[in-house]
Structure 1
Amino acid sequence: MPPASLSELSAQNVLYARARLGEGPLWDGDKQVLYWVDILNHRVHVFEPSSGDDCHWDVGGVGSALALTAGDRLLVALGNRIASLDLTSGAVETLHTFEFDAPDTRFNDGKCDPQGRFWIGTMSPDHPGQAALYRYDPDGSVKTMETGLTISNGLGWSPAGDTFYLTDSPQRKIYAYRFDGETGEIGDRTVAIDLSDEAEAVEPDGLAIDSDGNLWTALWDGGCVACFSPAGDALGRVKLPVQRPTCPTFGGPNRSTIYVTTASVGLSQKEIQQGFYSGDVFAIAAPAPGLPTTAFGA
């Protein structure tokens, strides 16, 4: 799709959720449902686009990132631990607990790589540089993959599986790393996208990648989802009627829909009135399909 045509795309409100901090959308192709979290309300949601039904589980803490796993279960990054959520009973079982140095640190965004390893980053907004990125493997082992971050955010892999992308929101940068799928190692970091020339408040948040290798990132306080080529060229933006989009993901029968979670947290009454649908879930018809969701341990 030519860059100019992206501005012609529109975002449709598909779920009136009014979440405080909607995040972590995850598409389940087998069940044709969208999992997502309302972090500050401690909820993991299950949204069925075909019927419009949405239900949720209270996980008892700040669940921020999800991964598919075997059976009727999800992996949940929950504060300072990785847990398993039983989707039939709502039971939460801790699998691994982490010790973070800074007191305000918690998990933020996460995703499985093409080999089924769960990558989750932390955020430490009051202690810049104290956040990190971890890799949780199916054998239960954990490895620190990157340090020196402040809000580890949107991450993803190129269609060829040889490039890994990671966002540090306050730096307003998306980094690219060489990725070795066999070993799960990363290296040779470069800046793929630099938004430091944007308006002061705009930060890149969640990230999704389509089958052409284009990067789609939600711009927090930017009211849009921006698209960039693998070379880092700006291809255009799709506006949303809310100030704080948080994360896009590809879903639908052919992964031809971009679902976008949004937030209302921290907005003034005037800003909420201007963005009445803040916290809802939106859908955009994708110019190119997205990559399939990889389950943990796949």
Structure 2
Amino acid sequence: MTSTAIKNVLNSRARLGECPLWDADRQLLYWVDILNHRVHEFNPSTGNDRFFEVGDVVGPIALAGEHRLIMAQRDHIAFLDTQSGQVLPILVVEADKPNNRFNDGKCDRQGRFWFNSMSEDEEQAALYRYDPDGSLHLMETGLTIGNGLDWSLDNTTFYHTDSKPHLIYAYDFDANSGSIDNRRVLIDLSHETFEPDGLVVDSEGCIWSAMWNGWCVIRFDPDGNEMMRVDVPVQRPTCCTFGGEELTNLYVTTASVGLSQQDIQKSVEAGDLFCLKTDVSGRPAPAFAG
């Protein structure tokens, strides 16, 4: 189904590369280096990569109009102007939780921004939904490392990862109201030594999940059965998304944070950006409608 030869397309050496986002209109890939407080803009056609210093840790990002992104930082959400680099704070969310930070997320097809937090404390993280009308909704509690999320092809199922227990959940999703219900375990990786991190759903309804400490990305069918593993030459793949003119390039961000010198010697490209050419396509990234 795919070529298993994944290629290094950017020697970025990020500490914690995450949250890749494809802008189909501009044919650019946005991604973040969480711990270096940077939002990157990568042009695959030229190989050029520039970044914006955003002043604090930065996690999930989403398109939000021409030359604008919405992003979740340590304890708040903000807009980023990708021409000027100006950061415009919108709303403080978890200022009362100093051991938390926001980690992953994306927009649904109705233009609502979903983002979750991770915590140094067990089960103290949460999942939120920020609507275009400015309202904030608490969607799930009791998480530890809230992570990759996406929706099924028919928009009736919401997928969401909690990395700490090594689980990917499925929920019933109501597109009109934005509500989720009936949480159940879709993919249980508790028998593995690695953790599921960021994920994306392709045009066949299958789930691609990056495996932190697993040296791979795994593709699952909509029922949660493993279909294939793509080897990545670094220990800590973090997230993936589809890009390119036909949305058939799977971009994978990676991390170097926390690796020992011995680990780095085995994983010398840690923190770089990778790309896998596939025979399946992704879906255009929805934008924030506010």
Give the alignment's TM-score, normalised by structure 1: 0.95
Q: Which residue of 2 aligns with 1:276?
A: 268
Q: Secondary structure at the match of 1:40?
A: helix
Q: Which residue, 54, 62, 74 being the options, matches 1:59?
A: 54
Matched, 1:151 2:145: yes
Q: Which residue of 1 aligns with 2:130?
A: 136
CA contact (8 A) 1:166 1:174 kept: yes
Q: Which residue, 87, 91, 94 being the options, matches 1:96?
A: 91
Q: Which residue of 1 aligns with 2:226?
A: 234
Q: Which residue, 272, 277, 282 being the options, matches 1:285?
A: 277
CA contact (8 A) 2:240 2:252 kept: yes
> For 2:179 and 2:272, how far apart are their aligned partners in 1?
36
CA contact (8 A) 2:94 2:100 kept: no
> For 1:168 and 1:187, how far apart are their aligned partners in 2?
16
The aligned runs of 1:25-64 (5 Å cut-off) are 25-64=20-59
For residues 176-198 of structure 1, the C-alpha deviation after alignment (integer angstroms, 9 at most, x for no partner) is 00111111001011111000111
Give, as a single letter, the amino acid of the residue that structure 1 aligns with 2:145. I
Displacement of 1:146: 0.5
Matched, 1:206 2:191: no
Q: Which residue of 1 aligns with 2:256?
A: 264
List gaps (5 residues or longer) in structure 1.
none
Q: Which residue of 1 aligns with 2:112?
A: 117
For residues 220-259 of structure 1, the C-alpha deviation after alignment (integer angstroms, 9 at most, x for no partner) is 0000000100011110100011000000001000110100
CA contact (8 A) 2:253 2:271 kept: yes
> For 2:93 and 2:148, how far apart are their aligned partners in 1?
21
Q: Which residue of 2 aligns with 1:10?
A: 5
Displacement of 1:102: 3.3
Q: Which residue of 2 aligns with 1:173?
A: 167
CA contact (8 A) 1:102 1:127 kept: no
Q: Secondary structure at the match of 2:164?
A: helix
> For 2:226 and 2:83, how far apart are their aligned partners in 1?
43
Give, as a single letter, the amino acid of the residue that structure 1 aligns with 2:177. T
Give, as a single letter, the amino acid of the residue that structure 1 aligns with 2:101. R
Q: Which residue of 1 aligns with 2:215?
A: 223
Q: Which residue, 44, 55, 63 being the options, matches 1:68?
A: 63
CA contact (8 A) 2:216 2:232 kept: yes
Displacement of 1:155: 0.1
Superposed CA RMSD: 1.0
Q: Which residue, 87, 94, 98 being the options, matches 2:82?
A: 87
The alignment of Structure 1 onto Structure 2 pairs a total of residues equal to 290
> For 2:63 and 2:123, how far apart are their aligned partners in 1?
30
Runs of 4+ in 1 over 2 A off after TM superposition: 99-103
Q: Secondary structure at the match of 1:170?
A: coil
> For 1:142 and 1:190, how far apart are their aligned partners in 2?
24
Displacement of 1:101: 4.4
Give, as a single letter, the amino acid of the residue that structure 1 aligns with 2:102. F
Give, as a single letter, the amino acid of the residue that structure 2 aligns with 1:295. A
> For 2:279 and 2:50, how far apart are their aligned partners in 1?
29
Give, as a single letter, the amino acid of the residue that structure 2 aligns with 1:238. V
CA contact (8 A) 2:202 2:282 kept: yes
Displacement of 1:100: 4.8
Q: Secondary structure at the match of 1:272?
A: helix
CA contact (8 A) 1:159 1:291 kept: no
Q: Which residue, 131, 156, 161 being the options, matches 2:155?
A: 161
> For 1:78 and 1:204, how far apart are their aligned partners in 2?
22
Displacement of 1:98: 1.1
> For 2:8 and 2:212, how far apart are their aligned partners in 1?
18
Displacement of 1:288: 1.1
Give, as a single letter, the amino acid of the residue that structure 2 aligns with 1:208. V
Alignment identity in percent? 56
